[in-house]
Structure 1
């Protein structure tokens, strides 16, 4: 498996995947060898990790994220690949269709573009004074532009001006966030991408320092101190990946396994951060949260 999440962030997800594999009869050191390669979310690092893994000629590859899958496809050949967190794999040319992927790749899509409107609505619901949102996006992720266009459109429909800023490193992220901090009634949003995950601590510390309400796709952000997240139940997703891996290892062709869309989402709100930002979370929104961090 190749992932651009950090080791700490991946620990519970790796555990969920291996726990499910054990339930299905696969045990490390017995009939399973699990090789995890962590890479930075840049094409060179992802390509190097993918190439070194493919050289081992594994029975199955797992690719987390669109950039990782793009890198892995250059080397995987006929080795079956289960992907996850890949937005619109048909548009990317990864599979022929969601129901009949064909070839040697199948897996689980990322967020649908329509979820961007939900992020805008939630940020506006937690702080009704918000009039603009700075959206941080990774230019190297080919799903960033369509996601940004959708969120900008959703913002216009609700009277919120969404400004997309493409960033590639910590310095550019800091400039974007400090720019948001200089705007009145502004919030901040990140896209589902490994780049903000890599710089999560920086994003959380700056948004709190500058008193900027923010929303993110990953629950690791509010658990680290950001205001809120609305995203996938990641441990459950990794368990589903394990189930697909089991079926392929037992002889099912990837072409016969439909690409599945996420169905379970969770809202996490950090109440301590809300207090820091001077925000009183509306009772109805708090009641709808899957987790409220005190």
Structure 2
């Protein structure tokens, strides 16, 4: 059940071109390099890259005819990102698309001339002004710190018995996740809850944390954006079910995999929007002239099957607010 889309004037600007640029036609094969945070075999990789390519096709760019797209996958760590960036830049792409903070840093360090479009990066390096990003970088951000309080509120609505919430992330993988902690801590007393930060660095630590939380009555879990945890999302969802832990996730693929509830920006939609920026750059515009855009579409997904398995009765008003209910 899809009900809400948040559209802003700035978001609409992604598909508007000056007449002189619009008149240009893609009459030669251009090259796009793409660094993807997830592995090539991850189901979400196919969903995101398909959305990107479909976005380009709608704008007149046909893979194999007038555009070549070169992908490198599993780019989540600095060393891998640097190697992948160097590899792709040897192919002299007209524009680079990156979907992780590590990939963005690597490409920025490797080139100051090739345009860069980032997707799903919460705190883009080297971008001090969203309206005027400067340099060769622009793109689409994901979250802002106040989301921590919103996750807490939604978790309390769907699981009123929860009084202690663990915010789990890998502090060594990304500087982003801790940014959501203060807003959650500030909001916690309003909901009769307390929050604790729970660092993890390996899959074994994830299992240990989940087992410990499962033995503490009233426990709940928040999974914020993190460049480490998505590679273990199936394990996290399975452990949450095993220990009957109500959990809220930053991305909908957790809910699709059996997670209780997710709330966050539509990353797939951002890949479609990135196609519009790539199109504008290929037609002659400069990254410096394209403002960094904040999320315009958010998804609130409830997995009703999981809620029933946890013995939770989801309030009708919450079901009505959801963009999608998985039954």
TM-score, normalised to structure 1, is 0.95
Deviation at 1:151, TM superposition (A): 2.3
Asked if residue 136 in structure 1 is aligned to residue 168 in structure 2, the reply is yes
CA contact (8 A) 2:59 2:279 kept: yes
Deviation at 1:159, TM superposition (A): 2.8
Between the aligned partners of 2:67 and 2:36, the Cα distance in structure 1 is 19
Between the aligned partners of 1:192 and 1:168, the Cα distance in structure 2 is 15
Deviation at 1:232, TM superposition (A): 1.5
Asked if residue 73 in structure 1 is aligned to residue 139 in structure 2, the reply is no
Matching residue of 1:125: 157
Between the aligned partners of 2:251 and 2:307, the Cα distance in structure 1 is 17
Matching residue of 2:76: 41
DSSP-derived class of the 2:120 partner:
strand
Q: How does 1:159-174 map to 2 (within 5 A)?
A: 159-174=192-207
Deviation at 1:39, TM superposition (A): 1.6
Select which of 118, 129, 133 maps to 1:83.
Answer: 118
CA contact (8 A) 2:101 2:123 kept: no
Q: What RMSD, in angstroms, separates the aligned Cα atoms of the two structures? A: 1.4
The list of structure 1 runs, each at least 4 consecutive aligned residues, that deviate by more than 6 angstroms after superposition, is none
Deviation at 1:76, TM superposition (A): 2.8
Asked if residue 208 in structure 1 is aligned to residue 241 in structure 2, the reply is yes
Whose RCO is larger (CA < 8 A, sep 6+)?
2
Matching residue of 1:102: 134
Change (3 A) 1:40 1:250: closer
For residues 69-117 of structure 1, give each alpha carbon's deviation from its aligned partner in whole angstroms, at most 9, with x where no partner exists. Answer: 122222133110001122233xx4x124111111100011111111111
Change (3 A) 1:156 1:41: farther
Select which of 123, 131, 145 maps to 1:113.
Answer: 145
Moved more, 54-63 or 122-131: 54-63
What is the total number of aligned residue pairs between the two structures? 291
Matching residue of 1:60: 95
Q: How does 1:1-294 map to 2 (within 5 A)?
A: 1-6=34-39, 7-89=42-124, 92=125, 94-139=126-171, 140-294=173-327
Between the aligned partners of 1:121 and 1:187, the Cα distance in structure 2 is 12
DSSP-derived class of the 1:221 partner:
helix
CA contact (8 A) 1:5 1:194 kept: no
Deviation at 1:157, TM superposition (A): 4.0
Change (3 A) 1:70 1:152: farther
Between the aligned partners of 1:272 and 1:119, the Cα distance in structure 2 is 20
Change (3 A) 1:57 1:13: same
Deviation at 1:40, TM superposition (A): 4.9
Between the aligned partners of 1:45 and 1:152, the Cα distance in structure 2 is 34
Deviation at 1:65, TM superposition (A): 2.3
Deviation at 1:171, TM superposition (A): 1.3
TM-score, normalised to structure 2, is 0.85
Change (3 A) 1:170 1:201: same
